[in-house]
Structure 1
Amino acid sequence: MSTASTEDSRAILDEVLTSLVAGILHMSPDRLDPTRSLKGYGMDSLMAMELVGTLRKELHCELPALEILHSDGSVRGIRDLLLPRLLATAHKTTAPHTPRHLPPARPARTDTRPADVVGHADHGSC
């Protein structure tokens, strides 16, 4: 999703969430209105917990059940909660890697001749 536009990301997430929710509700994804509350389809608290677990497993994203309850309870409402988190995660994982700890630099030797620097004079260890 990190390379998709925001609109494309919404559409992709709508499709994924519709498929996941339809699976939990044991219905065809094309019968699911993404703007309708999932309670209207019979989603109960156990199914909501299954959805939380599925989101964690499939999307690697934590979304507390309370946040789902505070949304409008539709696929689109859940999408609007998830999308910023997923995009933030995508940006973190695609950002250039910066090591947290670098070993200290070795001080430059001042008592060497040019031949010593390239390893011709002394065959000792680095």
Structure 2
Amino acid sequence: MGLPAACAARRPSALSGGERQRVAIARAIAVRPRLPICDEPVAALDVSVQAQVLELLREVRREHGTSMLFSTHDLAVVRQMTDRAIVLRHGEIAESGDTGTILDSPRHPYTINLVESVPRHQ
């Protein structure tokens, strides 16, 4: 998981947010779940640690050949980590399909508003 061996002897309060997140991922993956559910896996992490954790999840996916289900509001994470996406509105499916198609050419008004709400860097 990219953690130094010394982390094993430390209490959770002595670990950084990124280290705690990697420990949580390691614990979840250790039981070899059929479908790991990643609920906002990087929401509380700074951008550089987010990138490390997402790369770790991609590595786990490649090594174990497993699918993962992501639940997130972060469209950048959706674009990086998913092949297919489902947009939910009030618990109902607003739109589903190929991630690139949904994010680049949304069809449902809710999805359009969601995609347009993401600040664009000039």
Larger helix share, 1 or 2: 1
Query: Of the two structures, which has the highest relative contact order with CA contacts closer than 8 Å and spacing of 6 or more?
Result: 1
TM-score range, shorter chain: under 0.3
Larger strand share, 1 or 2: 2
